[in-house]
């Protein structure tokens, strides 16, 4: 399979003598709710979508993303040349009012990346410092508590060389993807586990999504969304049938019946599950199909986007997963929180299919395939670093460990195209 393709960065002060003597850019305007803590488990899907949209309104990916990210890369390389940033010791304890060398060190660390705009030689862990920590957390995809917990500490201590690697890999993906942006388009950023609907260069919808597990990663892909299916059936992939379904049937012969699944032969004729040998390595070539309903793994709605990976976006019967911070749990497809809202946006120019009609159509329990009057471009991308239009550089974890692979491959190609006079030996 092919590789799948917030912090304000600082301008280096002229003549700065220390690695952390940086001058931050002006802070972008933020909505009042930008620093609000999102309790996803206590929210409805609609509330979750509204909350994450309020946190930041700029697209992850737009036509100028590569240019901005390239500039961010240059600035991070300058930070590296100045010595990077100091490590925060694991023993450091931060709480409102705390003072001491560790607090001063944190201030200096945040100034380097522009998350804090002034540095004091001493002083308590005050509101200004808490706000700086929140800014750092937001641009790193962390819960904006203003407290330095284990995850925030780990992010703060990622070396600048690693951040440069992330920017380099993400820039390569942006330059190679060849996505044709439209007036309206959808982007799924896999490492961030979010989807965005962009219209008129603005993010008008943002959703939590569940993407592929590390062992079953979601691919990078570009396509056109052309259909919305209400009450879809689910044809189980052969690999899942032979391994996961077969294993369940060996333990629980009533599993398929309970899950409203049928076994079909090559002609589409129904077979008795009890007549199948579900022993490992003996499962015949049969099709397992799940009927529409709340039990269906695709939930009540599927969004079609033709592609060679046979992946798509859909609802789910496990909606509790959207409340999790770690949302890497699918077999490669993208499950979308508040997916009916996304469907309504996709269908807004398609006659007779507003949100009310979508809900009524689902309530019938009957499968309905709705063709969009105009297809909408969609890109699933793999960006662990990017700079948005408000000059905030964001980072996410390299969940599939692909950045190093891509950078090594690029280095090998560069070496091949630009050979030195020295012979290459293996």
CA dihedral sign, ordered 133, 134, 140, 141: positive
Q: Indicate whether 2 belongs to any domain.
A: no
**Do residues 366 and 293 make contact, with C-beta atoms less than 8 angstroms apart?**
no
Q: Considering 243, 260, 314, 331, which one is annotated as catalytic?
A: 314
From edge to edge, which strands make up the β-sheet containing 234-235? Answer: 234-235, 287-290, 261-264, 270-271
184 and 332 share one domain? yes
371 and 342 share one domain? yes
99 and 243 share one domain? no
- For 369, the domain range is 180-234+294-381
Q: What percent of the chain has pLDDT over 90?
A: 75
318 and 373 share one domain? yes
Burial state string for 138-161 with b = 16 or more CB within 10 A and e = fewer than 16: bbbbbbbebebeeebbebbeeebe
- Give the pLDDT score at 281: 81
In angstroms, the CA 236 to CA 264 distance is: 11
223 and 244 share one domain? no
- Give the pLDDT score at 26: 37
Residue 260 bears catalytic tag: no
Residue 14's φ and ψ, nearest 5 degrees, are -60, 130
Q: Indicate whether 424 belongs to any domain.
A: no
- Give the pLDDT score at 144: 92
Q: What percent of the chain has pLDDT over 70?
A: 86
Residue 333 bears catalytic tag: yes
212 and 241 share one domain? no
**Do residues 137 and 143 make contact, with C-beta atoms less than 8 angstroms apart?**
yes
Q: What is the pLDDT of residues 351-369, one digit of tens each?
A: 999 999 999 999 999 999 9
Q: For residue 257, what are its two tokens?
A: 């019946």
pLDDT-based confidence at 292, cuts 50/70/90? very high
In angstroms, the CA 45 to CA 41 distance is: 10
Q: What is the pLDDT of residues 125-147, one digit of tens each?
A: 999 999 999 999 999 999 999 99
- Give the pLDDT score at 5: 31
> Measured between alpha carbons, how far is residue 34 from residues 54, 131, 134, 135, 137 in Å?
6, 11, 9, 9, 11
- Give the pLDDT score at 324: 92
280 and 348 share one domain? no
**Do residues 346 and 376 make contact, with C-beta atoms less than 8 angstroms apart?**
yes
98 and 46 share one domain? yes
Q: What is the pLDDT of residues 17-47, one digit of tens each?
A: 233 323 343 333 343 344 556 677 888 888 8
Which of 197, 151, 217, 207 is closest to 322 using CA atoms? 207
283 and 139 share one domain? no
Q: What is the pLDDT of residues 102-122, one digit of tens each?
A: 999 999 999 999 999 876 656
**Which helix (H) or strand (E) covers residue 393, if one does?**
strand 392-395
Count structural domains, the chain.
Answer: 3
225 and 155 share one domain? no
Q: Considering 243, 260, 331, 333, which one is annotated as catalytic?
A: 333
Q: Which of residues 95 and 86 earns the better pLDDT score?
A: 86
17 and 96 share one domain? yes
Q: Indicate whether 244 belongs to any domain.
A: yes
């Amino acid at each position: 399979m092919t590789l799948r393709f917030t912090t304000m960065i600082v301008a280096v002060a002229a003549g700065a003598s220390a690695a952390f003597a940086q001058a931050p850019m002006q802070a972008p305007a933020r909505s009042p709710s930008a620093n609000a803590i999102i309790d996803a488990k206590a929210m409805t899907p609609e509330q979750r979508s509204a909350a994450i949209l309020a946190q930041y309104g700029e697209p992850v990916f737009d036509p100028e993303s590569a240019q901005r990210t390239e500039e961010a890369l240059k600035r991070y390389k300058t930070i590296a040349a100045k010595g990077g940033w100091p490590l925060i010791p694991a023993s450091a304890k931060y709480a409102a009012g705390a003072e001491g060398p560790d607090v001063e060190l944190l201030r200096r660390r945040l100034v380097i990346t522009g998350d804090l705009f002034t540095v004091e030689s001493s002083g308590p862990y005050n509101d200004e410092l808490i706000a700086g920590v929140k800014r750092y957390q937001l641009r790193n995809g962390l819960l904006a508590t203003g407290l330095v917990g284990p995850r925030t500490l780990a992010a703060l201590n990622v070396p600048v060389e690693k951040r440069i690697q992330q920017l380099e890999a993400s820039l390569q993906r942006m330059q190679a993807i060849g996505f044709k942006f439209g007036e309206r388009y959808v982007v799924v950023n896999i490492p961030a586990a979010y989807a965005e609907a962009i219209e008129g260069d603005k993010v008008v919808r943002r959703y939590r999504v569940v993407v592929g597990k590390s062992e079953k990663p979601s691919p990078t892909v570009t396509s056109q969304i052309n259909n919305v299916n209400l009450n879809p059936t689910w044809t189980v992939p052969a690999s899942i049938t032979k391994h996961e379904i077969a294993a369940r049937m060996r333990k629980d012969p009533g599993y398929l019946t309970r899950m409203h699944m049928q076994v079909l032969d090559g002609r589409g004729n129904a077979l008795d599950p009890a007549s199948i040998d579900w022993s490992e390595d003996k499962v015949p070539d049969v099709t397992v199909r799940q009927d529409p309903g709340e039990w269906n793994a695709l939930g009540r709605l599927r969004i079609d986007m033709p592609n060679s990976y046979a992946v798509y976006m859909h609802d789910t019967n496990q909606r509790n997963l959207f409340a999790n911070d770690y949302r890497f749990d699918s077999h490669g497809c993208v499950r979308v929180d508040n997916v009916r809202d996304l469907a309504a946006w996709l269908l807004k120019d398609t006659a007779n299919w507003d949100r009310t009609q979508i809900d009524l159509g689902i309530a019938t329990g009957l499968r309905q395939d709705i063709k969009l009057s105009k297809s909408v471009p969609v890109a699933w991308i793999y960006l662990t670093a990017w700079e948005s239009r408000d000059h905030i550089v964001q980072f996410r974890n390299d969940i599939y460990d692909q950045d190093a692979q891509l950078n090594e491959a690029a280095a090998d190609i560069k070496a091949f195209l630009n050979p030195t006079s020295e012979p290459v030996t293996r």
